[in-house]
Chain A
Amino acid sequence: MAEPLATIATPRVQPTAADLPVLHLDIDAFFASVEQARDPRLRGRPVLVGNGVIASCSYEARRFGLKAGTPLSEARRICPDAVILDGHAPTYRAFGERIFALAAQLTPHLDTYLDEAYGDLAGTERLHGDPLARCAALRAAIAEATGGVTVTIGLGPNRMLAKLVGKTAKPDGLAWITAAEADGFLAGRPASDIAGVGPAIAQRLAGMNVHTVTDLRRLDVATLAGLFGAVGPMLYERARGRDTRAVCTREVPQTISRETAFHRASADPAEIEGMLHYLAERACRATRALGLTARTIGLRLRYADGVSEEGRHTPAVPSALDPDVHAVVRALLSKLWTRRVQLSHVGVVLSNFAALDGAPLDLFDGAGQDRAHRLVEGLDAVRDRYGHAVVVSGRSLSLLGTLPQDRYGFVLRTPSLTK
C-alpha cells in the first residue's frame, strides 16, 4: 500500500483515480538489481556494474557514497569489498522490456526511457479501480516476473510531481501526491528539483541566492523570462507544481545512438573506423526498423585524457543507409580528431528523423542509391531472421579477433542502450 509522505501532515485524504493521472516508474539501481536478481549471493552486498566508471550501483554501494560516473579505481579504494561486474547490455534491455510490458498493462500511453517510464492513467479508473492498489499489484508482479528486481512508483497530477514524489519513497516504494498538496510538498525543496532546472540554470539561480522552490516563487514571470528566455515562464509554472507536458508513447525517438568505449584506448585508424562503421551500421538498422531516416548525423568521441568532442552534420539528403552515414561519420572524425591523443570512446548519433517513405531522394545518384537500398534491405532481411552477428561487413573486419563476439554481435566494452 501507499507509504506515508513524511513532508505532508497526516491524516491524508485518500486520493481518487482522477487526482493521480500520471504514473512515474523507476527501476531501482537497474543494472545492479538485475545482477542481484540473477545471483542471490549478491543480495545485501555492494554491487557495481560498469567498465572504467560505474554505470549502476546497488543501494548497498551507495551507502559508501558511490554513484554512477565514479571511476572504478576510486570505487575500489572507497569500497574494497564491492563486487564489480562488467554487465551485459542485452540482458538489461530484456529485463527493461519485460518490466515496461507489465507497466503497459495499466496504461494506454507509456513513455519509456532507459530505466524509467511515465504512464498516463487518465480515464483508466473504471477499468483498473483504485490506482494505489493497482500500482502495488504492478510492483509485486514486476518483482515476481524478474526474480526480485524492485521498482519505485510515484503517482501525481503531472510528470514532474509524480517523479518527485516517487523519489521520496525510493527504493522499492510507492508514493503519491495530489495537486492540492503540491504547494506544501514543493516549498522547501531545492530549486534544482524542478524539471527543467539543469546544472547551468541551478548555478545561475544560486548566484542570485535562489536555492529553494520558495525562493524561486518570489521571482515573477517577467523577471524569469528576462533571465532565462522561453524557459522562464515554464520555471514559473513548475515552481507552482504545474507541468503541462503530456504523457504519450513516443513513436519517433529524439535520437538513436550507438556508443562504446574501447577495451584499450586506440589511435589505430583501422580499429577506430571499423568500430565506427559497426556502430553506424547498428544505428542505421535500428533507424530503418522504425521506418525512419536521419536528417542529422553526429559523432561523439572522447580522448584518453577525458577531453570530449562532438560534431554533427545535416546532409542535403536524409539517409539511413550504412554507407551514407559512415561517409559522414568519417568526415566528422577527420574534423574532430585533431589531437595526437588516443581515443577511449566513440559513438554515432542519428537524430532529426523523417519518415523513410516520404524522404527526398538524391536526384543525381538514383541508381547508386537504389543499389545501396537493395543491399541494406537484403542484409536487414538476413539479420532480422538470424541476428545481427550473422553478417560482418568488410569495414568492420578489423574488429574480428580483437573483440569477442556473441550471438548479439561484437561484445562492446560499454555499450549504450537505446536512448
Chain B
Amino acid sequence: MRVERLDEPVRVRADFAGGRATPVVFQRGTQSQRITRVNSRWEDRVGRQPLYYFACSVESGDVYELCLNAHELTWRLTSVMLDG
C-alpha cells in the first residue's frame, strides 16, 4: 500500500440529501470514478474556510480522499491510497 499526496481540482457529482454532502462520482482527467462507499468523513478548517473530507472507495478498490471547500464550493482530490 502506498499513499500519493495530491492537490488537484476535481469535478465531483455529489448528493446533498439531508443537508450533508456525499460524493457519488468524480472525474479525474478523462476518467470517471464511481464511488462505491464513503468509508469515513471528517471536518477541518484552514483559516475560516470549512473543509469536508471524504475517504472514498472506488470500483477498483483504491481509496481516494476528496475535499470539499464549503467556502469556495470547490472540490479537490487530496490523496489516493493504492495497492502495491
Contacts and interface: CB of A to CB of B under 8 A. Distances in A.
A102 to B, nearest CB: 12
A63 to B, nearest CB: 19
A148 B39 CA distance: 9
Nearest to B6: A406
Contact of A41 (B40, B53, B63, B78): B63
Contacts of B53: 91, 94
B46 interface: yes
A40 interface: yes
B58 to A, nearest CB: 12
B40 A387 contact: no
Contacts of B32: none
Interface in B44-66: 44, 46-49, 51, 53, 55, 57, 61, 63, 65
Given A83-B1, A85-B1, A39 B47 contact: no
B10 interface: no
Contacts, number: 72
Contacts of B63: 38-39, 41
Contact of A37 (B1, B39, B47, B79): B39
> Chain B at the A interface: mostly helix, strand, loop or mixed?
strand
A243 to B, nearest CB: 34
A85 B3 contact: yes
Interface in A61-105: 83, 85-86, 88, 90-91, 93-95, 98
B44 A90 contact: yes
User: Which of B42, B57, B63 has the most CB atoms of chain A within a 10 A radius of its CB?
Assistant: B42
Contact of B42 (A42, A146, A148, A383): A146
Contacts of A383: 47
A100 to B, nearest CB: 13
A86 B55 contact: no
A75 to B, nearest CB: 15
A38 B55 contact: yes
B13 interface: no
A38 B3 CA distance: 12
Interface residues of B, number: 26
B11 interface: no
Nearest to B76: A407
A125 interface: no
A contact patch SS: helix
A404 B79 CA distance: 14
Contact of A147 (B7, B43, B55, B78): B55
B81 interface: yes
Contacts of B5: 404, 406, 411
Contacts of B79: 88
A408 interface: yes
A39 B46 contact: no
A95 B49 contact: no
Interface in A116-160: 146-148
Contact of B40 (A38, A88, A384, A388): A38
B82 to A, nearest CB: 10
A145 B57 CA distance: 17
A349 B6 CA distance: 31
B47 A384 contact: yes
B41 interface: yes
A242 to B, nearest CB: 39
A34 B47 CA distance: 24
A387 B7 contact: no
B62 to A, nearest CB: 9
A228 interface: no
Interface in A384-408: 384-390, 404, 406-408
Contact of B43 (A85, A98, A411): A98
Contact of B48 (A148, A384, A388, A408): A384
A169 B32 CA distance: 45
A87 B60 CA distance: 23
A41 B47 contact: no
Contacts of B3: 85-86
Given A38-B55, A39-B55, A39-B81, 20 more contacts: A37-B55, A38-B65, A39-B39, A40-B57, A41-B63, A41-B83, A85-B1, A91-B42, A93-B44, A94-B42, A146-B40, A147-B55, A148-B40, A385-B47, A386-B49, A387-B46, A387-B47, A387-B49, A388-B46, A404-B5
Interface of B: 1, 3, 5, 7, 37, 39-44, 46-49, 51, 53, 55, 57, 61, 63, 65, 78-79, 81, 83
7 contacts: A41-B61, A41-B83, A94-B44, A147-B41, A386-B49, A387-B49, A407-B51
